[in-house]
A and B are shown apart, each in its own frame.
Chain A
């Protein structure tokens, strides 16, 4: 019964994570702690959910051509560097400070997401199917809009974005989440990427962050294998459902859902602290 509960929770978290490009750990870890699991046990399961959800959502996001791997790898380099630094200083910070840090970041992401509509998702009639994809040697790209036509994009304010990605990594390293709730708003609000590209690219990158952190947790023996099976099963299903929903929902709805989830996560974290 407990395993089924974990599987259902993981499915919901991974589904919402894929829809909003969050990663899902920021939702699953507080939920598991509320069910009575210790934060030390819950954190690796949260990361497992993120990595499994990322794998599950990948096929449909790759078929959509909405992932920009070049942007993903460049931003992930900054994020992973921050995560390594965060993991190093995590021991020096009290759990309460870490929780407030996480709640503040989630609340900031919710406010940023609601503040204004994305500016970059415009169909350009000059672009055709041959233009869809990433650009060799550049961070620019174009993706096919769900309603027809092609949307070109080019990220801006890269140094600022890389600084924020490092902070996302720092938060991820200290608090044990993937940092997706900071990465997606950074890509849409700072870099000016269309939400569909930002969520798909973040879903790809949070898988890398989670995989790196899981490697350490698994070696340390901090992962309960029985619970892990339930979380993987639920997350694989949730990631698939979330990616489908992300394709079907209009950008505005995704942004509202993302803000709602982030706001709720912030409240839960403050209450827990």
Chain B
């Protein structure tokens, strides 16, 4: 597997944000400043929904359970989609392609399992 080992000579992302010139290579602009508070809020909402779902009658609880389980499944995959998008913005094409390949393998596995 031929993996990238050297920094790309870049100073700006596709959206024009300057990349910080760190020691020996370029530091990524992905800092989780946006992701961290969003994930905190999502986790809090999911926690409340899960606790309420345990206490209410089964019919309502099942609806809440579908929403909570759906969110638990979707969020990690959405994080990968977000990374692919940000790496593409940073012109880090090789890692964006690796991220896309990961999503493709996940999709392939799910389709194969559904077929069997």
Query: Is A52 in contact with chain B by the CB < 8 A criterion?
Result: yes
User: How many angstroms from the CA of A8 to the CA of B22 in the assembled complex?
Assistant: 44
Docked complex Cα distance between A65 and B33 (Å): 10
List which B24-39 residues lie within 8 A (CB) of chain A: 24-28, 30-32, 35-37, 39
Contact indicator B6/A133 (Cβ below 8 Å): no
Most buried by B among A48, A215, A240: A215
B95 touches A (CB below 8 Å): yes
List B15-63 residues whose CB lies under 8 Å from chain A: 19-20, 22-28, 30-32, 35-37, 39-40, 42-43, 46-47, 50-51, 53-54, 58, 61-62
Q: Are B102 and A226 in contact (CB under 8 A)?
A: no
Q: Given A58-B39, A80-B106, are A232 and B72 also a contact pair (CB < 8 Å)?
A: yes
Q: Are B69 and A225 in contact (CB under 8 A)?
A: yes
Picked from A70, A73, A84, A230, the residue with its CB within 8 Å of the CB of B108 is A84
Enumerate chain B residues within 8 angstroms of A83, measured Cβ to Cβ.
109
Nearest neighbor of A88 in chain B, beta-carbon distance: B112
Task: With A133-B22, A237-B47 as known contacts, state yes or no: A59 contacts B62, CB within 8 Å.
Answer: no
Bound complex: CA A225 to CA B58 (Å): 10
Q: Are A212 and B22 in contact (CB under 8 A)?
A: no
Q: Evaluate contact between B102 and A76: CB separation under 8 angstroms.
A: yes
Interface size on B, residues (CB 8 A): 67
Contacting residues, chain A, for B3 (C-beta < 8 A): 74, 139, 158
* CB of A23 to closest CB in B, whole Å: 12
CB atoms of A63 and B108 under 8 A apart: no
Bound-state Cα–Cα, A68 to B27, Å: 12
CB distance from A265 to the nearest CB of B (A): 23
A216 contacts B110, C-beta separation under 8 Å: yes
Interface residues of A in 197-233 (CB under 8 A from B): 204, 207-208, 210-212, 214-216, 218-220, 223, 225-226, 228-230, 232-233
Q: List 28 A-B contacts (CB under 8 A).
A: A3-B54, A55-B39, A65-B32, A73-B99, A74-B95, A80-B109, A87-B109, A87-B113, A130-B22, A133-B27, A136-B8, A136-B26, A207-B75, A208-B80, A211-B76, A214-B69, A215-B73, A215-B106, A216-B110, A216-B114, A218-B73, A226-B61, A229-B65, A229-B68, A232-B47, A232-B72, A236-B47, A240-B43
Q: Which residues of A contact B (CB under 8 A)?
A: 3, 7, 48, 51-52, 54-56, 58-60, 62-63, 65, 67, 69-70, 73-74, 76-77, 80-81, 83-84, 87-88, 126-127, 130-140, 142, 152, 158-159, 162, 204, 207-208, 210-212, 214-216, 218-220, 223, 225-226, 228-230, 232-233, 236-237, 239-240
